[in-house]
Structure 1
Amino acid sequence: MVDRALPKRCEACARPSSRCLCSTIPRLHSSTRMLIIQHPSERHHALNTARFLAAGLVNAELHVVEHIAPGSALYSQLADPARRTEVLFPGPGASSLARAADPREHQLVLLDGTWRKARKLLHLNPILAVLPQVALAAGLASRYRLRKAPAPGALSTIEAGVAALEVLEPDKSFQALLRPFDRLIEEQIASIGTELYRRNYLKPGSADSGSDR
């Protein structure tokens, strides 16, 4: 049996060292505190955009957990009345995400996982379920060109985080956070080949298809 060593991975971005994306990750400041709660099944997903978001935003934390134990540091942080905490999730009673005249620090929770796993996180954790839910404006389109969106307006975690921050802090730009995401998409397109990508993923007349605009 041949012993094949696994490729070394960058500890920061979790990518293979030969394809490290750390050079594309900025360090941006925001007034909004972002808590990213990642379902454990997403930890080793190839498109782990939650890690990129947490690495690029100074005022952000990534927690990989399914059950948030009462008394834990994360539980206390979510329940802290000194912060105005909301969950970015388009539930039936969600209000539109907007700036608010509230002197408390705004803490925005992002749930990283499939829609089913995100709903499971809410169901398993009453501390999340009781928090106000907010949603982004309808009609936003994902930049991830290699996947059909599971629902209209479905965005990756990093795209949702950037869109939310630019609503809450319109005087700043957070587009630089998307650089590692864009690079990852470019790498995936290169790996399948440009012609195959155009044939299987592009709609006629789209900007990347080579057709007239």
Structure 2
Amino acid sequence: MSRPSCPRCTRPLEHCLCALIPSLDSRTRLLILQHPSETRHALNTARLAALGLRNAELVVGERFDDLATRLAQPGYRACLLFPGEQAQPLAAHAAQVDEPLLLVVPDGTWRKARKLLHCNPLLDALPRVSLPDGLSSRYRLRKAPAEGALSTLEAIVVALEIVEAPRDFAPLLAPFEALIEGQIAAMGEDTFRRNHL
């Protein structure tokens, strides 16, 4: 029998994060495209980002038939937050664009995120932007597959702080930190130190 869950943050009621989730405005619009395998993940950071930002939308799937409509938001210029050879630094791209950005963020493992791009050719046609090198994740429960790899929520916070400087989007990280602390407490400090430090 499953434990009762919060309908908003989907965490078990005794671990609900809603009190920590802010409600922030941003000039930048976010379209988070989540691979279905991520929805059941205990650390669903894309959901936390969508809940904490008023100008964000989370869409779950592999193929998005209405993607052209979602990308054609009046008054916004769409770009894809995803590293690669053609990716331009986000700060440089934002400086060249007069309109607010519609930042499209794929959410999933690197393999699943690449699959989203493959299944949705419109994504690959977007200008691609990347975050600066040398970033480090607060995600202490998972080894990063590459240096500078961040959770989706962390990447969104960094991106928004670049595009909308000097605004501070760190309050979005409060439920993320609580989630990690809760996971560490559940496994026990000794187990955490043995397996993750």
TM-score (norm 1): 0.88
Return the match for 2:148 from 149, 153, 166.
153
- 1:83 paired to 2:79: no
- Partners of 2:72 and 2:168 in 1: CA distance: 29
Query: What is residue 172 of structure 1 aligned with on the other side?
Result: 167
* CA pair 89-200 structure 1, distance change in 2 beyond 3 A: same
Query: What is residue 16 of structure 2 aligned with on the other side?
Result: 20
* CA deviation vs aligned residue, 1:133-154 (integer Å, no higher than 9, x gap): 1100011011011111011111
Larger gyration radius, structure 1 or structure 2: 1
Query: What is residue 11 of structure 1 aligned with on the other side?
Result: 7
RMSD: 1.3
Contact (CA 8 Å) 1:50, 1:62: kept in 2 or not? Answer: yes
* Paired letter, 1:39: H
CA positional deviation for 1:8: 1.2
The alignment covers a number of residue pairs equal to 195
* Paired letter, 2:50: A
CA positional deviation for 1:200: 3.0
> Where does structure 1 lack aligned partners over 5 or more consecutive residues?
203-213
Query: What is residue 57 of structure 1 aligned with on the other side?
Result: 53
- Partners of 2:75 and 2:53 in 1: CA distance: 22
Query: What is residue 135 of structure 1 aligned with on the other side?
Result: 130
* CA deviation vs aligned residue, 1:80-117 (integer Å, no higher than 9, x gap): 57421111000121110113243323110110000001
Say which structure, 1 or 2, has more relative contact order (CA 8 Å, 6+ apart). 2
TM-score (norm 2): 0.94
CA positional deviation for 1:196: 2.5
- Partners of 1:150 and 1:139 in 2: CA distance: 14
- Partners of 1:200 and 1:124 in 2: CA distance: 36
Query: What is residue 206 of structure 1 aligned with on the other side?
Result: none
Query: What is residue 123 of structure 1 aligned with on the other side?
Result: 118
